[in-house]
Structure formats: C-alpha cells, structure tokens
Amino acid sequence: MRADTGDLLQGTLAILILKALLTGPAHGYAVARWVEATTDDVLRIEEGSLYPALRRLEDNGWVTSEWGLSENNRRARFYTITRTGRAHLRAEATVWFRYAGAVSQVLRSSPALS
C-alpha cells in the first residue's frame, strides 16, 4: 500500500516534517527521505507539498531555515525545529493518537470487517 502526501491532511504533513526534524537540522530532501524510509515507503512526500509546508511552518515560527553545506558539499537550506515547534508537535501528536485510537476502536468493534 502507498499513500501520497497529496492525500494527507495538511496538519498531518506538518507533524511528519516536525517529527523528522526532531533528530536534528535537515534539508528538504532528507526530510522526505526520512519519512519514506521510516514508513517503508508507505507514505511518499510530494515535492509540491513539502516545500510549501516548510514555508508555512517557518511562517508560524515552528522551524527556522539556514543555508549550509550538505553531506556532499552542496549548498542546501537546512531546517531546524524551534522550541514552539516542539510544543506544537507534542500537542498535535496527542490529538493524533487519540484520533487514531478512536478510529481503530470503531473499526475493531463487532461485527468484524470481513
């Protein structure tokens, strides 16, 4: 199964990006790759959604950006999660877990799906 980020809710993409940045500053490509690798390519992040989402996060003050050198010595823009970004991620994750739990609960209730 595969889901494109085009199908993901905007808020969801934001959580994914913020989570990806928890390990440290990263450029856009690294964020996309991390999400793909972590979900075994189930979630694919479209470039058309990734960069606008990063701008929105920056506008909200949840991430900051800075030009730096990549691992192969290319000029790349690195994003860093801020303190308010972390707080936001925590709050959103709580909501997400409750939501997902609730949906799972509904789906697991009898009668069974098949």
Tell me if 76 contacts another protein by CB under 8 A.
Answer: yes
Query: Which residues contact residue 26 at a Cβ distance below 8 angstroms, ignoring those fewer than 6 apart?
Result: 20, 34, 78, 79
Q: Are 92 and 22 in contact (CB under 8 A)?
A: no
CB-wise, 75 or 108, nearer to another protein? 75
Tell me if 74 contacts another protein by CB under 8 A.
Answer: yes
| Member of 11, 22, 38, 52 binding another protein (CB under 8 A) | 52
Strand residue runs (E) in the chain: 3-4, 26-27, 43-44, 63-69, 75-81
Tell me if 2 contacts another protein by CB under 8 A.
Answer: no
Tell me if 92 contacts another protein by CB under 8 A.
Answer: no
Tell me if 72 contacts another protein by CB under 8 A.
Answer: yes
Q: Quick one: angle between helices 28-38 and 47-59, nearest 10?
A: 110
Residues contributing to the site for another protein (CB under 8 A): 27-29, 32-33, 46-48, 51-52, 55, 59, 67, 70, 72, 74-77
